[in-house]
Amino acid sequence: MNRSFLFSCLAFGTLNFIGLAIGGMATGPGVVSDWYASLEKAPWTPSRLGFWCGVDFGDGRV
C-alpha cells in the first residue's frame, strides 16, 4: 500500500466524519413534528422495530 493511497483514504474518511458531524448538529436530536406524528398511517406501515429488523435481516447482517 503506497502513501498516496493511505493519505487519500484518511482524507476521505475525515471529510465524511466532518460532514456527519455537521448534519448531526443541524438536525439535533432528530426531526420532531406533531404534524407527522398525528398523520393517519396506512395499515401496512411497519412499526419502527419491524422496519429495522427487516432492514437488518434483509441485508444479511444478522
Residues 24-42, mean pLDDT to the nearest whole number: 77
pLDDT of residue 50: 67
- Express each pLDDT in 6-29 by its tens digit: 999 999 999 999 998 898 888 777
pLDDT of residue 34: 82
* CA dist 45 → 1, 2, 48, 58 (Å): 48, 49, 9, 17
In the chain, pLDDT over 90 holds for what percent of residues? 27
What type of residue is 48? Answer: R
Q: How many domains does the chain have?
A: 1
pTM over 0.75: no
- Structural domain range at position 33: 3-58
pLDDT of residue 23: 85
